[in-house]
Amino acid sequence: MMVDLLVDMRFGSHLYGTATPSSDMDYKAVYVPEGRDILLGRARDSVVLTPPKPGGEKNGPGDVDHDAYSLQRYLELVAEGQPVAFDMLFAPEAAMMRPPSPVWREMQANSHRLVSRQAGSFLRYGRQQATKFSLRGARVVTAQPGLAVLEAAEATYGALAKLGEARAELTAYVADAQNAVLLDLASANGQPLTHLEICGKRVPFTASIRTAREIVQRLVADYGQRALQAARNEGVDWKGMSHAVRIGREALELLETGRIVFPLAYAPEILAIKQGQRSYDAVAAAIEALLAEVEAAAARSFLPDEPDKAFIEELVVRSHRAKVLGAV
């Protein structure tokens, strides 16, 4: 896809200084939509410059992500205080895949008009990510053994046998599992009916074993590869936790200095967390402490409460006008 790129850069761990041999390649870009698309109101907020992988498959070593934001969408992300926007804004020359356009140079030179105390949202985002993936990891620890029990029951009793046939096996399973339970609920005729509940998914004992196995199989698949890795790490997604700490440290740097320097001076700390070389309790405590530090830093920061919206609008108007005039 041919688009007018204002900037194109290496992103992610290769920008932060936390890349490992298993890290995939991640690129980000900003573009100005074509004049006709602007005039017809069909300009897209973002485009993918590499074809999507089938079935939502995740990247592995050597795979590439290459996403581009429209200029207007990118500046909206800046105004919202989104981490991705500021990481891009302060990316150094060494990260660029080609010389940036004069518009991007102007934005970098005027970064003080784009950065605001909205950067305090950095850590809250990171904390949400860490919590989400840690929870997913804990749930996979429950769901995977449940799936194994159901697969064995299906082989023993047959796919069409009622789930209740495996009551003994399921009772033993839930006795040692978190997020799994057998509970009696009223049926349509008012009589109690036993259900298997795993991570919020309920299956009545009158359903077939195959139906129950398929439901739990989808549950495990939905958690994704990062959550499965978290399960192998006793429910901790170290990559998610490292992102939370990185984002918190970046927020402090931005609120205190008005910019972020890449590669990150604290990259070794982030990499150690990413590789599981720190205790969960220590990292969780660090995230809690960072949240308090970021909130305090936002309160005392010299940064304005909001970015210069007039400057942002002028950048978009000027860039779109040039594109539209060039199209007519």
What pLDDT is stored for residue 286 in this prediction? 85
Name the token pair of 240.
């998610």
What pLDDT is stored for residue 50 in this prediction? 72
Give 239-274 pLDDT, tens digit per residue.
878 888 898 899 999 999 999 999 999 999 999 998
What pLDDT is stored for residue 42 in this prediction? 92
| DSSP symbol at 167 | H
What pLDDT is stored for residue 56 in this prediction? 47
What pLDDT is stored for residue 135 in this prediction? 52
Preceding amide of 263 cis, omega within 30: yes
Task: State the amino acid at position 181 in one-letter form.
Answer: V
Give 117-164 pLDDT, tens digit per residue.
877 677 666 566 655 555 555 566 678 888 999 999 999 999 999 999
Averaged pLDDT score across all residues of the chain: 85
Which residues are paired to 26 by β-bridges?
A: 11, 65
Name the token pair of 161.
């046998």
Report how many helices (DSSP H) and strands (DSSP E) the chain contains, helices first.
12, 7
Domains of the chain from N-terminus onward: 1-116+305-328 (3.30.460), 138-225 (no CATH)
If one compares 255 and 1, the residue with the highest pLDDT of the two is: 255
Residues 116, 77 contacting (CB under 8 angstroms): no
Give 203-225 pLDDT, tens digit per residue.
999 999 999 999 988 877 766 55
| DSSP symbol at 99 | P
Q: How far is CA 52 from CA 2, 25, 63, 65, in A?
A: 17, 14, 11, 9
Residues 123, 291 contacting (CB under 8 angstroms): yes
